[in-house]
Each structure stands twice: as C-alpha cells, then as structure tokens.
Amino acid sequence: MKEIRTEQPHCPVDGVMHLLFAKWSAHIIWVLGAEGAQRFGELKRRLDPISTKTLTERLRELEMGTLLHREVVATIPPQVTYSLTAKGTAIHGVVDQLVVLANKWESETPNDSMQ
C-alpha cells in the first residue's frame, strides 16, 4: 500500500492509516485485543493463511508505530510475545466498532449490503 492521505502536505492521520490499512494489520490488532498477548506462532496460526514474511513485516511496522510491544525471552528455543500498547488498545477499540457494525448489518440485511 502506498499512501492513504487525508490532507496535504503532511497529514498526521497518514501514519496511522498507513499502519492500520496495510493487509492483515487490523486483523492482527483485533486478535491481540480480543485474545490478549500472543506469541509469534500462535498469532500465525490464528491468522491462518498469512505468510511468515508478511506477519513479521506487519509486526515490525506496528511496533515502530508503538501500537504493540515486542517482548523477547532468550531461551532455547526463544519466546517472543506480542501485546498491544495503550495506543494499540485504543485502535483496537475503533476496529472493534467496525466489527460490531459489520455484524449488525450482516444480520439485518443478509443480501443487500454486498454484492
């Protein structure tokens, strides 16, 4: 995804949009928010057909944006746990409202809202 701008020339919203609207990002946040902290492998299983590459990329981006926190326990084998920060939790709240709306519309209008 290249850019989702909401104003010019520098839009404070761009960053969050970029972060959130990339493929899988919202889903990752939603899982971490709904199920709590998860390790890399659990997360991957939970998101099913996601590739390791993409999952790693998204997690790094979200960490950079301080939406989640990465905690490493350097055992063998290593354990890496991801959890939402306060920012991430706030975003999760918004995403969840989207989910609530979508579910409501699905049950109200089983056939007219989408092709």
Cβ neighbours of residue 19 under 8 Å, at least 6 residues apart? Answer: 25, 61, 62, 65, 67
The answer to the question of residue 39 lying near DNA (CB under 7 A) is yes
Q: What is the DSSP-derived secondary structure letter of residue 7?
A: S
Return the number of other C-beta atoms located less than 10 Å from residue 85's C-beta.
15
The answer to the question of residue 36 lying near a second copy (CB under 8 A) is no
The answer to the question of residue 6 lying near DNA (CB under 7 A) is no
The answer to the question of residue 5 lying near a second copy (CB under 8 A) is yes
* 68, β-bridge pairs: 84
Contact 59, 28 (CB under 8 A): yes
Question: Among residues 9 and 49, whose Cβ is nearest to DNA?
Answer: 49
The answer to the question of residue 59 lying near DNA (CB under 7 A) is yes
Question: Among residues 79 and 109, whose Cβ is nearest to a second copy?
Answer: 109
* Peptide bond preceding 12 in cis form (omega within 30 of 0): no
Report the distance separating Cα 85 and Cα 83, nearest Å. 7
**Binding residue for a second copy, selected from 45, 66, 70, 71, defined by CB under 8 A:** 66
Residues near a second copy (CB under 8 A): 1-6, 8, 12-13, 15-17, 20-21, 23-24, 26-27, 30, 48, 64-66, 87, 90-91, 94, 97-99, 101-103, 105-106, 112-115
